[in-house]
Amino acid sequence: MKRTRISRIGLGLLLGLNSACLLAAEGPAVPQPGQSKDDFINQLMGQMTQQEKIGQLRLVSVGPDHPKPVLLDEIAAGTTGAIFNTVVRPGIRDLQDAAMKSRLKIPLFFAYDVVHGHRTVFPIGLGLAASWDMGAVATSARIAAEEASADGLNLTYSPTVDIARDPRWGRVSEGFGEDTYLVSRIAETVVKSYQGKGLDQPGTIMAGVKHFALYGAGEGGRDYNTVDMSLPRMFQDSLPPYRAAIDAGAGAVMVSLNSVNGVPSTANKWLLQDVLRQQWGYKGVLLSDHGAVMELIKHGVAGEPREAARLAIAAGVEMNMNDDLYGKELPELLKAGAIQQSDIDRACRDVLAAKWDMGLFKDPYRYLQGADPVDTDAESRLHRAEARDVARKGMVLLKNQGDVLPLKRNSTIALIGPLADSKRDVMGSWSAAGKAFQAVTVLEGMGHATRGKGALLYAKGANVTNDEEIIKYLNEYNQDVVIDKRSPQAMIDEAVAKAKMADVVVAVVGEAQGMAHEASSKANLRISASQLDLLKALKATGKPLVLVLMNGRPLDLRWESENADAMLETWFSGTEGGNAIADVLFGDYNPAGKLAMTFPRSVGQIPIYYNHLNTGRPFDHEHPNKYTSRYFDSQNGPLYPFGYGLSYTSFSVSDVKLSSAKMHKGDTLTARVTVKNTGKRAGETVVQLYLRDLVASISRPVKELKGFRKVMLQPGESKVVEFPIREQDLRFYDGSLRYASEPGDFKVMIGLDSDDVKEGQFTLL
């Protein structure tokens, strides 16, 4: 599905392949017993030619720009550092064999976008985040690492920890939502789960956290767009998740494609050196994004390719993904004195260090040992039980009027909708090495659940869109969207006929997976007209209407929320999606997911997020006033707030009790509530702690998430939930970027979503 195409003319010549080939072959780069990493790398670098050092900085994908035979020669000449997008062991072995023919036998590493699972596909990031369940997050990442390493991979370009507050951006699907605290907790969990107890352990892969930095804050939600952000907000809200991933030990960082306050990240010395290296002490390797070095020309900070390469290497971008500019331009830049030998040495050292950490010098074939699987796509390689469990944990019940859910198995159910039987869509975008034929659709999942019991009637009812341009866009690379050639009315008629025969209608609607991906920003967040027409016709039958939403971003669901009886947000839930959805619909699993991103009422409210500032004229629902911060044609608040999600049971939360009304620095206060299951089923909920600094040197948000606990309660059962609050939890970046707490009053809010909270208050002395 890729994009920047760079001419390869003269690359071999510029890389000095011929001269490199003429150097005498030397022994393999293997550490001596007891040799330290630094010592080994120093020794190795002492043997390397300039071309070999620069070669280590090339991160290449086999493809039209790099046909395999040419690439094999380049690798054998010692002028390639790593490969991405090759995901099967025989392919990887061929490439590593070529590296073992090179003079110094420096192994390649192999990378891939293992974003939400590898062969077994788990829910998209936004769905995983909605579980608020670090055990589930850890399971999905650990299995992804096991499966990816079993295919020979050493590094993944994930987790994506960009804070996302604009659902127009397609990549909100990939990250973990809008909140700094929640995204940071997930970031560290994912990194630790990928990397295990150490990358030398089996079944681990290196995490490549991305996209550094602020990729989620592009103006207008348009992918790749400009980011302009105040420094306090940047440090307070957007940078912490990257830092959390780094503090958790992420071995690689991918630099973002956007500019940050005027300077593209790829050329941003302040971001990459001052913040990342110096302030945060990051020691790992820094990768460019795809074609990003060349894009410095279009950003308008470099006049020509050589200058682009100079800016990127000087800023500290160490591996250049797929545009070959380092290979071509660095030798000349060095000769001309425009860059220093130390720029190249530093980058080469970090690449070699990453390879050392991956255990590749000890064994370049460490993930290629043993026989290759006879069938790469073998069913036995999947982790279905875990995928099903994690998928259902991320589902969010948005509405359940009259307890229409759970469904009764012995009823007649009309299952309708363009996404009800789509194997490709249920997997979501960035579904890595997952195979659609192995995915379970909602039709299949409900079929398993109702077999021998009630009746399941199915009709597609509509195409996911009737807009020819959008279909063309979605099918540009693969025929992912299969269009039913019948007229829209004929499809609706069939669906309505089935609906009329049923006790309840379940409509599976939302987005095609390609609508929530890279380069898939949207200006309109309503579901397509074809699907809305279908829903209106189904509604007109008078049958109870349950919506199963399958989508990768918050949508404008005003019509749906008013007209459907129940709505279950299932995201793109992965290989076992259909079974997991059936588990929730039939009540075999009681939903407990909570939104990780605010659902707006309309596009016009964006950006809308729960932790906004109060303003000097906040709108007050109870005493509406014209000259307050509001829209005159829309309500102020979201349709569904951050942290929101229902259950098949109900919960109550007691008043907040604080262990003290005063906190001295160094104290730990305890905030306590009692949560009770007031309904008839066992269920889990997520108790959320928010804090507000009432008066400070700069305006502080109306609330900020500072803790959460997921609790399971039997009917009638109560549990005391306690949150420690420390002075560190009250710190923030002030106008001069000083990170400290300020004495004064703080509000404590605890509840089951960000809107519905109980309050307490204390004073920091």
Least distance between ligand BGC and beta carbon 2 (Å): 7
Give the distance from CA 184 to its chain's centroid: 12
Neighbours of 432 (CB within 10 A): 23
**How many angstroms separate the CA atoms of 385 and 378, rounded?**
16
Q: How many residues does the chain have?
A: 765
Q: CA gyration radius for the chain?
A: 27
210 binds ligand BGC (CB under 6 A): yes
How far, in Å, are 7, 60, 268, 376 from residue 322 at the CA level?
A: 11, 5, 20, 26
Compute how many residues bind ligand BGC; rule: CB under 6 A: 6
Residues 236-275, mask of contacts with ligand BGC (x by CB under 6 A) = ----------------------------------------
Task: For residue 254, give every residue at least 6 positions away whose Cβ sits within 8 Å of its Cβ, in sequence order, or none.
Answer: 157, 208, 209, 210, 211, 212, 287, 288, 289
**Cβ distance to ligand BGC smaller for residue 79 or 322:** 322
The one-letter amino acid at 756: D
**Cβ distance to ligand BGC smaller for residue 293 or 456:** 293
Residues 505 to 524: which contact ligand BGC by CB under 6 A? 518
710 binds ligand BGC (CB under 6 A): no
Task: For residue 679, give every residue at least 6 positions away whose Cβ sits within 8 Å of its Cβ, in sequence order, or none.
Answer: 647, 648, 649, 650, 651, 715
**First CA to last CA distance, the chain:** 57
- Residues 30 and 307: beta-carbon distance below 8 Å: no
**How many angstroms separate the CA atoms of 663 and 191, rounded?**
34
Least distance between ligand BGC and beta carbon 294 (Å): 13
Neighbours of 736 (CB within 10 A): 9
User: Binding ligand BGC by CB under 6 A: which of 52, 65, 74, 113?
Assistant: 113
Least distance between ligand BGC and beta carbon 299 (Å): 15
Structure letter (DSSP) for residue 677:
E
Residues 118-157, mask of contacts with ligand BGC (x by CB under 6 A) = ---------------------------------------x
Least distance between ligand BGC and beta carbon 89 (Å): 20
**Cβ distance to ligand BGC smaller for residue 3 or 621:** 3
Residue nearest to ligand BGC (CB): 157
Q: What angle do CA 391, 397, 403 make, to 5 degrees?
A: 130
Q: Which helix (H) or strand (E) holds 490?
A: helix 488-501
Least distance between ligand BGC and beta carbon 692 (Å): 35
Task: For residue 281, give every residue at least 6 positions away whose Cβ sits within 8 Å of its Cβ, in sequence order, or none.
Answer: none
- Residues 563 and 177: beta-carbon distance below 8 Å: no
Least distance between ligand BGC and beta carbon 238 (Å): 17
Residues 150 to 189: which contact ligand BGC by CB under 6 A? 157
**Cβ distance to ligand BGC smaller for residue 209 or 549:** 209
Catalytic-role residue among 151, 166, 289, 323: 289
Least distance between ligand BGC and beta carbon 590 (Å): 35
**C-alpha count within 13 angstroms, C-beta hemisphere, residue 416:** 35
Residues 275 to 294: which contact ligand BGC by CB under 6 A? 289-290
Query: Cis link prior to 517 (omega < 30° from 0)?
Result: no
**Cβ distance to ligand BGC smaller for residue 147 or 583:** 147
Give a three-class secondary structure readout of 449-469.
Answer: HHCCCCEEEEECCCCCCCCHH
**Cβ distance to ligand BGC smaller for residue 299 or 700:** 299
**Cβ distance to ligand BGC smaller for residue 518 or 560:** 518
**How many angstroms separate the CA atoms of 140 and 118, rounded?**
10
Does 620 participate in catalysis according to the annotation?
no
706 binds ligand BGC (CB under 6 A): no
Least distance between ligand BGC and beta carbon 4 (Å): 9
Least distance between ligand BGC and beta carbon 113 (Å): 5
- Residues 470 and 425: beta-carbon distance below 8 Å: no
**Cβ distance to ligand BGC smaller for residue 432 or 515:** 432
**Cβ distance to ligand BGC smaller for residue 160 or 441:** 160
**How many angstroms separate the CA atoms of 349 and 347, rounded?**
5
Smallest Cα–Cα separation from 30: which of 91, 89, 100, 109? 100
**Cβ distance to ligand BGC smaller for residue 427 or 538:** 427
At 388 the three-state DSSP class reads helix
**How many angstroms separate the CA atoms of 537 and 459, rounded?**
13
Least distance between ligand BGC and beta carbon 354 (Å): 16
Residue 16 structure tokens: 């000095």
- Residues 114 and 105: beta-carbon distance below 8 Å: no
**Which residues are the active-site residues?**
289
Q: Which residues bind ligand BGC (CB under 6 A)?
A: 113, 157, 210, 289-290, 518
